[in-house]
Every structure is written in C-alpha cells, then in structure tokens.
Amino acid sequence: MKIISFRDSNGESFGVVDDDGGIVDVGRKGPYPSLRAALAAEGLDEVAALAAGAAPDTTMDAVTLLPVIPDPDKIVCAGMNYKDHVEEFDREMPENVTLFVRLTNTLVAHGDDIVRPSVSDNFDFEGELSLIIGKGGRHIAEADVLSHIAGYTCFLDASVRDYQGHSVTAGKNFHRTGPLGPWMVTADEIPDPATLELTTRLNGEVVQNSTTDMLIYSIPNIVSYISDFTPLEPGDVIATGTPAGVGNGRTPKLFMKAGDTIEVEISGIGTLRNTVIDE
C-alpha cells in the first residue's frame, strides 16, 4: 500500500495511491485526519479497509503533495553508514552508529523545490532509504525492530558541506533541504529492507548506485540504538545513510545548482524528484 500526505482546496489530508495515480482520500473518510494520527492509533489496517475497492476521490496531478509525514516528532539520520561511502573518503569504519538530527522545517515534498542557501555553493546530494516508525517504544530489541516499522520512503539529505565542516547541525539543517517521499510504502510490501537498490541521479546522470546490504549498521541496529536514548514515536523518520558518489567526494567536486533536477530512486518504493532553486 502506498500512502501519501497532500493538500487540496479543502485543506490537508492523506490517502492511498493506486497504480494509475488515483487517490482514495482516507483522511476524510475515516477517523484519522493525518497519516501520523493513523500510525499513532495503529490504524493502518483500517486505512487499508477504507481504501479497498473504493473509487479514487482525486489524483496525484490534482493535489499538492506534502512530505509523507509533514510533522514528525523526530527526524534522526545515520551518517557514514555505507561501506563504499566510508571508503571513498579513506576513513576507518565507524566503531559505533553515527547520528545527527534534522529539523522538521527542512522537509519538502516530492516535486517541490529544494533551496540552495545564499551563503554557500557547496550544496551536495545524498540519496537515502528512510523508514517511518509505526509503533513507538523505548529500548527496542533488534529482533523486534521490523515490527515497529510502518513503512519506507525515499529521502534526499541535501548537505551544505562548508557549513557541515564546522557544524554538522548547521550543514544538515538549512531550510527546505530535505525532500521526503513521494509516498510511504507499507512494510508488508518490503519484508527485507536489506535487499533494495538505491540510485541517485543528477540531471538524469547516475551519481550514486548501491544496495542496502552495504549498510555498516543495519536498520534493526540503528533503530534499537536510537530507542535506547530517546522514546520513538509513531511517525518518526529515520534515515539510514548514503552510499558512495556524493559530490564532495569527487574530483572535481560536483555540487547542485539552481535549475538542477535531483532524483532518488529505490527499488520497491519509487522515485523522489525535486528541482533546485537559489534562495
């Protein structure tokens, strides 16, 4: 099941997308006004029942998409978590999970513009697999993690490298630099997230291509580790890291500029596509 969040003339809602781009507006048919609310109530089965056999209420072309979870409580990201990405910078393999957080106001939707900040031209791309927490918890055992995941989506961790050099928090949190979408594919359709292919394209050219079995720290390890220091909530977004090929690791360096199109495609999920504009 593919679930999107969107806005139309009647406000914000969420819905189930069919193969033809039709949307069943379950936010207005059922008791949950948002996907995050449905996750908090463990209501995905009810969402599926509302959508089953229903005619589409609208289409992807007729609405404005929102980030899959427009208002997550937390966005936690793993850094340096692909073997080939560590190797391209000649670094030692990390001895522990490396994490940073993003602010909610960095998120943008599929098809929306991402903003290259006026203070830097070191605007890099990092395509990533992200997961969305369905069932929250604290001290989640690795063996139980997959049962806490509602679904998966694509993420672009656009990074301002010169700022990141002196402040990871700043470099990863410029306004409108984190596309998330286009939709969440529910976890039942991706039983093994370690078998996915991730491809990032800049203006149609492949710049990153890897598979999620290259993760240094697995999804169960990352989620369990995070849950040890903070309670996870339904709708939390966790990004799992980016593979080799980033612009900052190239000679000469390759950074995004206004007018560029950046895509993150993940097998079994789909393609997240955005255009770069200058602030």
Does residue 145 sit in helix, strand or coil?
A: helix
Q: Which two tokens stand for residue 277?
A: 């504009």
Q: Are residues 55 and 11 in the same domain?
A: yes
Per the structure, the count of domains in the chain is 2
Q: Which two tokens stand for residue 58?
A: 């609208």
Q: What is the DSSP letter of 60?
A: G
Last residue of a domain, one of 66, 93, 117: 66
Q: Are residues 103 and 36 in the same domain?
A: no
Q: Are residues 49 and 87 in the same domain?
A: no
Q: Are residues 32 and 156 in the same domain?
A: no
Q: Are residues 83 and 60 in the same domain?
A: no
Q: What is the DSSP letter of 10?
A: T
Q: From CA 177, how far away is CA 123, in angstroms rounded?
A: 9
Question: Cis ω on the peptide bond leading into residue 191 (within 30° of 0)?
Answer: no
Q: Are residues 129 and 237 in the same domain?
A: yes
Last residue of a domain, one of 33, 49, 66: 66
pLDDT, position 88: 72
Q: Are residues 204 and 136 in the same domain?
A: yes
pLDDT, position 178: 98
Boundaries of domain holding 193: 75-278
> Could you write out the DSSP letters of every residue in 155-224?
EE--EEHHHHHH-HHHHT--TT-EEEEEEEEEGGG-S-GGG-EEEEEETTEEEEEEEGGGBSS-HHHHHH
Residue type at 85 in one-letter notation: H
pLDDT, position 96: 86
pLDDT, position 224: 98
Q: Are residues 158 and 232 in the same domain?
A: yes
Q: Are residues 211 and 138 in the same domain?
A: yes
Q: Are residues 92 and 53 in the same domain?
A: no
pLDDT, position 93: 75
Percent of the chain at pLDDT exceeding 90: 93
Q: Are residues 82 and 217 in the same domain?
A: yes
Last residue of a domain, one of 37, 66, 95: 66
Write the pLDDT tens digit of every residue in 228-271: 999 999 999 999 999 999 999 999 999 999 999 999 999 999 99
Those residues of the chain that have pLDDT short of 70 are none
Q: Are residues 36 and 79 in the same domain?
A: no
The answer to whether 216 touches 144, Cβ cutoff 8 Å, is no
CATH of the domain at 79: 3.90.850.10
Q: What is the DSSP letter of 228?
A: H
Specify the residue for token string 């596509």. 273
Distance of CA 17 to the CA centre of its chain: 18
Write the pLDDT tens digit of every residue in 14-46: 999 999 999 999 999 999 999 999 999 999 999
Contacts of 278 (CB under 8 A, 6+ apart): 115, 116, 118, 258
pTM of the model: 0.97
Average pLDDT over the chain, rounded to an integer: 96
Q: From CA 199, how far away is CA 271, in angstroms rounded?
A: 9
